[in-house]
Copies of this chain bind each other. A is one copy, B any other.
Amino acid sequence: MDIHAITAPTFADVMTAAVRIAPHAQVTPVLRSRSLDALAGAQLHFKCEQLQRAGAFKFRGACNAVWALPETVAARGVVTHSSGNHGAALALAAGTRGIACHVVVPEGAVASKLAAIRAYGASLHSCAPTIAAREARCDALQRDTDATLVHPYRDPDVIAGQGTAALELINACEGRLDALVVPVGGGGLASGTALAAAALAPHCRLYVAEPAGAAETAASLAQGRRVTDFVPDTICDGLRGTLGQVNFDLLHAHDVQALVVDDADTVAAMRLLWSRMKQLVEPSSATVLAAILRYPQHFAGQRVGVLLSGGNVDLDALPTLFSAT
């Protein structure tokens, strides 16, 4: 697959996605918290994608990609690789259309996420935990099954689908947001958000929150070209993907700024989201609040849209998670 051949999606594609996924996806609520507003010195509007089907925003993109396929192509099924949330989302999305789904999962993935993928009816295929091994196994499966690859963040339909979360958030806030903060891993959510924000709230600044142990987006934006030679080391299991070229191009074109946070900041922010908002979000989601608290100068006194990306926490690993810092 030549990633440079991918045509970048546009805001029209986000609008199409919103219509396409409406029968299947949740319009998730936007929650507020007096105590977190006080801590941040800003008005925070939390878009709750942990309440999305399959527990993360990923269902939006997967659902859009699955339902965008022509009937005869869809009938051959879909395939992907995923450390968790995208796999579960694609499995569930395939289920809504009654088609087969194959998911390549790296060894060491979160147990509860694998269980979810299985429960949604997908076939699991395990591989070594490297991007190269994941893509090779995926290629082989594509050849064997003739199923369509739905890449977790480079697929234009996935990017457009992820953009619908920001579309809903901006509309819920009647366009009056000074800033938006979303987490970044492979960049599917971030680039879809850039499309929605540019169209609906052009004066709204877009920030991506990124763990220090996987900060290639910050490096890429700083250098003006995609940096990919890194080995991720972060508790944010949803943010270990490599930024895609199409994703980088969209983030670069929209003048997105990266805010880097330590895992310790992320765990502290996660505890705040749990204890103050009673929302069980996963570490990847907490990076956004961590960034707002770490870099208050960007947000003081402003109306800020905050995208909580998912809530698929492995409860058996909680003691490890809280002692990670």
Contacts and interface: CB of A to CB of B under 8 A. Distances in A.
19 contacts: A31-B51, A34-B53, A50-B278, A51-B277, A51-B278, A55-B278, A112-B275, A274-B280, A274-B313, A275-B313, A275-B315, A278-B279, A278-B280, A278-B281, A278-B311, A279-B279, A279-B280, A318-B318, A318-B322
A53 B33 CA distance: 9
Nearest to A282: B278
How many copies of the chain does the oligomer comprise?
2
A205 to B, nearest CB: 28
A315 B322 contact: yes
Nearest to A318: B318
A31 B29 CA distance: 10
Interface in A266-325: 271, 274-275, 277-281, 311, 313, 315, 318-319, 322
Contacts of A274: 280, 313, 315
Contacts of A315: 271, 274-275, 322
Contacts of A319: 318-319
A112 B313 CA distance: 22
**What range describes how many residues of A lie at the interface?**
20 to 34
Nearest to A308: B278
A143 B252 CA distance: 68
A264 to B, nearest CB: 15
Interface in A232-280: 271, 274-275, 277-280
Contacts of A31: 51
A271 B314 CA distance: 10
Contacts of A50: 278
Nearest to A119: B35
Nearest to A112: B275
Contacts of A281: 278
Contacts of A112: 275
**Which of A34, A55, A280 has most B Cβ within 10 Å?**
A280
A29 B34 CA distance: 17
A136 to B, nearest CB: 32
Nearest to A29: B29
Contacts of A318: 318-319, 322
A89 to B, nearest CB: 15
A315 B280 CA distance: 12
Given A55-B278, A271-B315, 19 more contacts: A31-B51, A34-B53, A50-B278, A51-B277, A51-B278, A112-B275, A274-B280, A274-B313, A274-B315, A278-B279, A278-B280, A278-B281, A279-B279, A279-B280, A280-B280, A315-B322, A318-B318, A318-B322, A319-B319
Nearest to A270: B315
Interface in A14-57: 29, 31, 34, 50-51, 53, 55
Contacts of A275: 112, 280, 313, 315
Contacts of A280: 274-275, 278-280
